[in-house]
Amino acid sequence: MKRLLILLALVSIAPCYILAQFTYIGGGPSFSLGTISKGANYSRLDLDLFAMTRPIRNLGIGFSIGLPLTQSNSAKARSISQNYFSGSYTPGTMKYNFRGEMRKTLLMRIFFEKNLVAYLDARVNFNSFSEELIFQRGLVHGDSYYGWPDSPPISINDRATYRVTYPGFAIGIMPHLSRSVYLDWNIGVDLLSTRARRFIHIVAYDQTFSDGIVRNTTISNPFDGSFTLLFTSLSIGYFF
């Protein structure tokens, strides 16, 4: 009798676990937006490729790759006097670029008990970011009559690249549209923090008319090593 009850119990709960054992493969767009320094935004649009196994009813374990399609930032090289370059001291080129590479993500997805459609994600991201400063200026002639010195030409092309591992969280819904097609939409936040290598350069930006003294300023990267990325993604795919 005891064996029969155990057998009946196993038969009754087996369909729940059998039906819950799905594998998902899909993809779609993902958009991220954050602030890398005061008043400077960074955004990127990715193509996300996604795979997940759902070994039990309420839990999924997955992996995604974010291939950057386009990205932009409004940051500028940080200078205490960048608005005061004047005359011949004005650089011909002064650019700052901040870019992210392909993102790789491991995630754990917990489905809520009531409907098994809504979920909460905890994720770990692996990425590389790069910063580049380009500053070009030719020779600035002094005044030989007063004995004012020339300022030599400057050519700076400084680049810093670093790998970052950072956590993230998301909430979303993942309904099954048919027996083999699913839709996945989520919104979340990634928390990035790193000790980025700073580049600092001292350059002349002006010369006083009265005594010919050359005044200098420092130029450095605006990224302070930490920022928050808000993201949303939509994907569709196949499950079996």
Domain locations in the chain?
21-239
Task: Pull the structure tokens for residue 48.
Answer: 């996300």
Asked if residue 17 lies in contact with residue 33, where contact means CB atoms within 8 angstroms, the answer is no
For residue 176, what is the DSSP state?
Answer: B
The sign one gets for the Cα dihedral 35, 222, 43, 164 is: negative
Q: What is the value of pTM for the model shown?
A: 0.76
Mean pLDDT over 81-94 rounds to 70
What is the full DSSP assignment across 116-168?
SSEEEEEEEEEEEEEEEEEEEE--B---TTTTPPPB--EEEEEEEEEEEEEEE
Q: CA–CA separation, 223 vs 194, rounded Å?
A: 10
Lowest mean pLDDT of 89-93, 95-99, 173-177, name the range: 89-93
Lowest mean pLDDT of 47-51, 86-90, 94-98, 178-182, name the range: 86-90
Q: CA–CA separation, 78 vs 36, rounded Å?
A: 12
Task: Pull the structure tokens for residue 77.
Answer: 């090289």
Phi, psi of 167 (to 5 degrees): -85, 165
For the stretch 21-57, pLDDT in tens is 789 999 999 999 988 776 678 899 999 999 999 988 8
Q: What's the topology of domain 21-239?
A: Porin (2.40.160)
